[in-house]
Structure 1
Amino acid sequence: MDLLIAFAALSGFLLIGTLLRAKVKFLQSLFLPASVIGGFVGLLLGPVILGDHAILPIPQDWITIYALIPGILIVPVVASVPFGVKFKSRLEKKSEQAKMNAEVEKKKKSNASRNVLIMFAILVIISQGQNVIGLSLTYLLSKLGMISDVYATFGTEVAAGFSGGHGTAGVVGSLLQSMNQPYWNTAQGVTVTTATVGLIGGILIGIVMINFAARKGYTQFLSGPGSFPQDMKQGYQSDVEKQKASGKETMLGSSIDTLTFHFALILGGSGVAYALLMLVKKLNVPIIASIPIWAYAIIVMYFIWWVMCQLNLSWIVDRQTTSKISSMFTDFAVVAAIVSMPVKAVLSYIVPITIMMVVVGGFTLLASYWLCKKYYGDFWFERSVAVFGTNAGVFITGLMLLKMVDPEYKSPALTDYSIGYSINSVLAFIMFPLTFGLLVSQGTVTGLALVSGVVLAAIILLVVLNKANLKSSVQ
């Protein structure tokens, strides 16, 4: 019952956030999600900030539960990722072989793959470059005596918050908790802080970028920030005729509800991942036993989804439905992470965090602008504003900024951006446990060497692509 009431309170914060987003113009201009708004309502009015004078007397047991929720809910969130990946069955491969052979020459003449690789390399350089800067500043400030008693992974939170968003705070907390690191909640709270600053700053600076580009004539479809419809600002669609369906009914209610089936599939896969992790730990398998549960979840679900595709059962899963379930978990994870944020611990690192956010923010802005301008021809600014948005806030931030300069998505920027982002997300899931493992066991220098190597590899990829002998123009 305590767990039920604790979630009911989180639901109340989400509804309050939804109401405030719908009514407060300032919040609409920032495009803050209801989960972020509601989370800060609970934080500012609860015992974490006000102590015994809290307006909302949230029990400490609930705060403890809320701190754990992001690390738990991130498991089904990542478990839903594989659904929608196109694994063709043997029958599909045979039937499409002739068509593929006929289109080989046409595909060779296309620059689409090159553009996606360029986008992927740029995203890697910026997201991992943020890690390089954060860890380098941690090392430098420590040597100068400006900071002391920092935990092993300090410096990674800016990149996690900027390029990962609030949802990544749960990944950070879960990963460190699985490594038995006592500072996991502090690192989770710091990531929430940087994600909030990045989200707001990404939107505001992005709008400044767009206005600057419009005056310089860099944009080709600009309609301006004012082109956003009111329903997008308010966060709801009141016109019944324009309301979209949430997904397809792949199952019949006489057997099982479609939402129940998808929910069970995701949680079932998460359960298999947990069982696999327990088996690995029981067998004391080195290295693998320290990998967090969400990493097992995404591997297990990729395998399950591949088997389903080979059995021609891909029709049974609706990607839009799994995406809605993932979004639901993310909303609860974000509001829980903010309500339980250890403010005192975060404030003790406020000076180095602020320095890092300013430096990393400047790097993100300049790198997004310069790299896209150098390596793309037409529509370079449309791509740059999308890159900046996603590396300062989240994918949706980049999508919103792109919509400002390309309202109907007529440019190829959306395709390059979405595919490149997806590939980079896979790399990020691999880099997280590797980087954190090295930082915890070997120290800052070794972890810094790893992310620096990845950035160098991405730079080499960009140089190779730039020198490739392609006659067709880049679009």
Structure 2
Amino acid sequence: MDYGPWSLVVDAGLIGGLLLVGTLIRRWVGPAQRLMLPASVIAGFLGLLLGPRALGILPFADQLGTYASVLIAVVFACLGLGEDPHARTFGRSTAAFSAYSFAMYALQVGVGMVLAYALFVPVFGTPDGFGLLLFAGWAGGFGSAAAIGSVLGDAGWAGASSLAFTSATVGMLAGIVGGIAIANWGARRGHTDRLGRFEELPATLRTGLVPPGDREPTGIATTSASSIEPLGLQVCLVAVITVAGYGASEGIGLLFPSFSAPVFVLAFLAGLLVKGLARRTPAWQYCDQRTLKSISGVSTDVLIVCGIASITPSLVADYWVPLTLLFVTALALNLAMFRWIAPALMHGAWFEKSLFTWGWATGAVATSVALLRMVDPDLDSHTLEEFGLAYLPVAPLETASVAVTPLIVLTGLGWTIAVGWTAAGLVALVLPFVLGWTRTRRRPPDDRVEAAP
């Protein structure tokens, strides 16, 4: 059957149904709750099982994998329109936290590319971009996996998206299962005052549903429905910017046929441009940041479903050896950073902060928050507040890694990523020791570490 408007509607209905089922499973199935699996991930696995690549029960169109490439452009358009973080003063504690986070991200990028040139390409014959799958699926998460996969896929590597989403799925599971194991290990060793029981976690984190008394608005109406629905205005703004990014990409392709400009990068730049111009006018006050975050969140949820459901199992099987080596390396890197670097750099509640970092370094800040609540139920460690500031220097690195590294690899200069990002990560690790940002009092990791003055 030819792809048409109703094909899109059918796919949207199937994806919506899977998300509803995923929400119910998260609410009522104990293992899904204890693993804190997002409804989108559950829906993605169901889509993969029931879709045309497995049982063939759900009649998805053959464009299912393309939706992720479109949705990541929507996410980046919202990111470009987002508010700039407010700068605050860095202290030694925050600086060390920031250096640790920067190093974690940079090393995932660099080490992955080092492995590509030292092992994967010469031994297994993988494309050079195979090394990018480490950070794209782990520290980057599903959004970065979609972005990297779409760029490499457009350049001719047909299986890039499937492998990128496989990496993101494994990274998320490693983050959740490994995080729970680390939390219990920390409680036994006395690194945390209290390990909250699963039943003591807020109902929102356990079931995925928000009780009536705890609900918050997802947006604020900035227009009257007599003119245009408030949600409609924000959707129109995001849609225009996304299409502007697509149009710019097509225009660049006409001028330079040998160069493919990523749509999500241009959508992000278009969002920044619109924001920069609109903030000089009264029009900016009608852009609601909460609604933009909701639009971005919905796009990410659907993106995850499409990404996992479009994974080609046979392709993953063809690459199972290098993928396994890549995942083992990622896990070893994260564990080494957590076990030996974090106790030296993190001031105060080092265990809580490094467990939080473990969560986002394996794919999702939402996982970080859930793990943090297990060892710090009342959020007394102030990890969230400090991470908000510590992440500021990491954000440009993350954006550059997603937007620039695949283009550099495609030009044949991927070795600069291997050398440059690895060197940046090592410098970030050494810098706190040189500048005196480390803990003022160091005790063996197996002893209870009190907050440093």
TM-score normalised per structure 1: 0.84
The alignment covers a number of residue pairs equal to 439
2-structure distance, mates of 1:314, 1:86: 14
Contact 1:252 1:258 in 2 (8 A): yes
The CA distance in 1 between the partners of 2:260 and 2:193, in whole Å, is 49
Question: Does residue 399 of structure 1 match 2:372?
Answer: no
Counterpart in the other structure of 1:13: 18
Residue 117 of structure 2 corresponds to which residue in structure 1? 139
* Residue number among 115, 119, 125 corresponding to 2:103 in the alignment: 125
Q: What is the rounded CA distance, in whole Å, between the counterparts of 2:284 and 2:433 in structure 1? A: 39
What is the DSSP-based 3-state SS (H/G/I as helix, E as strand, rest coil) of the residue aligned with 2:279?
Answer: helix
Q: Deviations over 1:190-230 (max 9, x none)?
A: 12112222212212221222222222322246434442134
Deviation at 1:460, TM superposition (A): 4.9
Match of 2:320 among 342, 350, 373: 350
> Contact conserved, 1:386 with 1:398, CA < 8 A, in 2?
yes
- Kept after mapping to 1: 8 A contact 2:121/2:127: no
When residues 170 and 469 of structure 1 are mapped into structure 2, their CA distance, relative to the original with a 3 A threshold, is closer
Does structure 1 residue 277 correspond to structure 2 residue 249?
yes
Contact in 1 for aligned 2:172/2:364 (Cα 8 Å):
yes
2:400 pairs, out of 419, 430, 434, with 430
1:166 counterpart SS class: helix
**In structure 2, C-alpha distance between the alignment counterparts of 1:300 and 1:311, rounded to whole Å:** 17
Q: Distance in 2 between matches of 1:226 and 1:129?
A: 36
Q: Which moved more, 1:70-79 or 1:202-211?
A: 202-211
1:323-402 map, 5 Å: 323-402=293-372
1:459 corresponds, among 424, 429, 432, to 429
Residue 157 of structure 1 corresponds to 133
Q: Does 1:169 align with 2:145?
A: yes
In 2, the alpha carbon distance for the partners of 1:267 and 1:215 equals 51
1:104 aligns with none
**What is the aligned partner in structure 1 of residue 8 from structure 2?**
3
Q: How far is 1:461 from its partner? A: 4.0
| Kept after mapping to 1: 8 A contact 2:129/2:406 | yes
Structure 2 Cα separation of the partners of residues 249 and 113 of structure 1: 38
Shift of 1:86: 4.0
After TM superposition, give the deviation of residue 32 of structure 1 in Å: 1.1
- Per-residue CA distance 1:348-399 (angstroms, 9 max, x = gap): 1111111221121121122034333212221111110011111013111112
Q: 1:80 to 1:372 in 2, by over 3 A?
A: same
Q: CA deviation at 1:124?
A: 2.3
The residue number in structure 1 matching 2:31 is 26
Q: After alignment, is 276-285 or 310-319 more displaced?
A: 276-285
- The CA deviation at 1:67 is 0.6
Matched, 1:235 2:208: yes
1:209 match: 182
User: How far is 1:84 from its partner?
Assistant: 4.2
Aligned counterpart for 1:258 among listed residues 230, 234, 242 = 230
> Residues 252 and 260 of structure 2 are in contact (CA less than 8 Å); yes or no, is this contact kept in structure 1?
no
Output the CA distance in 2 between the equivalents of 1:135 and 1:84.
Answer: 31
Identity value in percent: 27
RMSD of aligned Cα (Å): 2.8
- What does residue 188 of structure 1 align with? 161
Structure 2 stretches lacking a partner, 5+ long: 1-5, 441-450
Contact kept? 1:220, 1:379, Cα under 8 Å: no
Please report how far the alpha carbon of residue 275 of structure 1 lies from its aligned counterpart in structure 2 after TM superposition. Answer: 3.0
